[in-house]
Structure 1
Amino acid sequence: MIAVAHRLPRDAEARAAWLAAGVQRFEADVQLAPDGAVVVSHFLPFLRVRGWLQHDGTTFRWGSGGDPTLDEALGALPPSAGVLLDPKETRPSRRAALVAALSAALPDRERYIVSTDDDGDLAGYRAAGFRTWRTVKDAATLRSVLAGPELPDAGVSIRHTLLDRATVARLHERCGQVVAWTVNDEGRARSLLGDGVDGVTTDRPDVARLVTEGR
């Protein structure tokens, strides 16, 4: 079973807890800094207007800066740890630039999976040699995936509330792996494992341990 830590831990104690839980992969939200460097940051422009005000869903900040570069963030992980890259650029030109920047920065493609919901971006990352998971955020996207042909992606990363046993089985007909996000309740994690998911993304090491031990 695949356990994904939802965000890269910032300190050694947190990293140790995740690794002790058997986590195999860490998720990193990536975007471009003003100087073109790839940084790990959960903050996005407020109302998608690029400027000083940014948010990460619950918290606001003024300005950018202080975000680690991807190299710095990866340097804190053991070399054996896999990384799930979640591209956060919204404008087409910046998304294309991020594909190019990640392709140049990460020669070891086997360590990485890229997950996004944009068909063009997914094709670009696959062409660059990355494995991809298709992100499924809502019911409309799920219906489209289920109505379509077999996916060219290695798997889907899907909001857990969209899943039941029948849906997991139908998704497995179209791709290799089904990974549910973001699951922070042990009971829900057990239910999803029973439904046949291949993995879970979580904010909690105890849930990750449950997944890696198959309990």
Structure 2
Amino acid sequence: MYGRKRLVIAAVVSAAVVTGPSAQAVVDPSPVLFGDPAVLLRAPGPVGVAHRGASGAAPENTLAAFRTAARMGADMFEIDVQETKDHKIVLLHDSTLARTTNVEEVFPGRKPWRVSDFTLAEVKRLDAGSWFGDRFSKEGVPTLAEVMREMRPTGLGMLVELKDPARYPGVEKRVAAVLRGDKYWTAPDSRERRLVVQSFDWASVRRFHKVMPDVPTALIGKPKASTLAGHARYADQINPNHRELTAAYVRKVHAADMDVLTWTVNDAAGMRRVLGLGVDGVITDRPDVFRKVVRSGAAAA
């Protein structure tokens, strides 16, 4: 069981990581380069998870967003996975391509532009960055395997959300197959948290746990306190909306030997409040703000 005692992040420290007041302006989408980086094992404490990458500064679920998260001092980055027509695992929050790509221009006659109606080759023709800003026009929709390969040198952990799994029967096995393809992410190490898989669909989390029982899992939402012991048989985290949290509930989750990561908190005051409740980490669009709050040591009473 991946419990609270193992809430330790292996993070890469390098001059390439930019934090502090200027961090929010850093949106350079170029690769993060690390030369002989030192590895810092942080003691158990609050973890900063970049929501869809640093999505306040770069287009969500793109390599640019994940690289920016590394520069802003995130500990982990969160991603959403969907499945193409030819059963390839790609990163998109929505079940359709319309909001974050130019699919309506490239494929005007294929409304409603569901991800599952397009092959990977077709998805790769799309621009997934211009909607956020012209400088990101070369950003495409990455596959899970591409993100795993490209983000390995940063040392960040990865929080994978199975999005709409009921739409893709068997997706748990296909995601597991991709994860198994890169031993870096799945190698067990009690000192590190490199990978967690989560979903709003708790039955999907249970199915994934059966396929890869050694990979930490999380339930998005807020199960009743009376059910936590049962959920702890297959889940390692409870990840609720910050508006639903109380210190008493966090204590009950901890008593069940599970962690609490809360979402999505983007302002310093809100971060201090949830840290004061005892959460183990915060999922945020602004990992730079979270890093400042943690360094200040300030938590709201």
TM over 0.5: yes
Does residue 145 of structure 1 match 2:227? no
- Specify the code of the residue in structure 2 equivalent to 1:18: A
Q: For residues 33-78 of structure 1, what are the alpha-carbon distances to aligned partners after superposition, in whole Å with 9 as ceiling and x for unaligned?
A: 1111000011224xxxxxxx7557xxx9653523221122333313
Q: CA deviation at 1:15?
A: 4.5
Does residue 89 of structure 1 match 2:191? no
Q: CA deviation at 1:203?
A: 0.2
Alignment CA distance shift 1:149-1:83 (3 Å): closer
Does residue 155 of structure 1 match 2:237? yes
Match of 2:265 in 1: 183
2:74 aligned to which of 3, 20, 23: 23
Q: For residues 65-105 of structure 1, what are the alpha-carbon distances to aligned partners after superposition, in whole Å with 9 as ceiling and x for unaligned?
A: 2322112233331342211111112426x1x4211111111
Match of 2:51 in 1: 6
Match of 1:173 in 2: 255
Q: Is the 8 A contact 2:264 2:283 kept in 1?
A: yes
Q: Is the 8 A contact 1:32 1:89 kept in 2?
A: no
Q: Is the 8 A contact 1:4 1:199 kept in 2?
A: yes
Match of 1:121 in 2: 204
Distance 2:293 2:209 in 1: 28
Distance 1:8 1:76 in 2: 13
Distance 1:105 1:16 in 2: 21
Distance 1:20 1:91 in 2: 35
Q: Provide the aligned length of Structure 1 versus Structure 2.
A: 197
Q: Is the 8 A contact 2:88 2:143 kept in 1?
A: yes
Q: CA deviation at 1:171?
A: 2.1
Secondary structure, aligned partner of 2:175: helix
Match of 1:204 in 2: 286
- How big is the alpha-carbon RMSD for the aligned residues of Structure 1 and Structure 2? 2.6
Distance 2:204 2:290 in 1: 29
Q: Is the 8 A contact 2:67 2:151 kept in 1?
A: no
Distance 1:134 1:169 in 2: 17
Question: What is the aligned-residue identity percentage?
Answer: 30
Distance 2:63 2:176 in 1: 27
Q: Mean Cα displacement is larger for which, 125-134 or 67-76?
A: 67-76
Q: Is the 8 A contact 2:49 2:76 kept in 1?
A: yes
Match of 1:134 in 2: 219
Alignment CA distance shift 1:210-1:154 (3 Å): farther
Distance 2:144 2:88 in 1: 8
- Specify the code of the residue in structure 2 equivalent to 1:34: K
Match of 1:50 in 2: none
Match of 2:86 in 1: 35
Alignment CA distance shift 1:131-1:85 (3 Å): same
Alignment CA distance shift 1:90-1:55 (3 Å): farther
Alignment CA distance shift 1:38-1:211 (3 Å): farther
More strand by share: 1
Alignment CA distance shift 1:160-1:149 (3 Å): closer
1:69 aligned to which of 139, 143, 151: 143
Match of 1:139 in 2: none
Match of 2:176 in 1: 103
TM-score calculated relative to the size of structure 1: 0.79
Match of 1:48 in 2: none
- Specify the code of the residue in structure 2 equivalent to 1:115: Q
Q: Is the 8 A contact 1:17 1:205 kept in 2?
A: no
Alignment CA distance shift 1:30-1:212 (3 Å): farther
Distance 1:87 1:11 in 2: 18
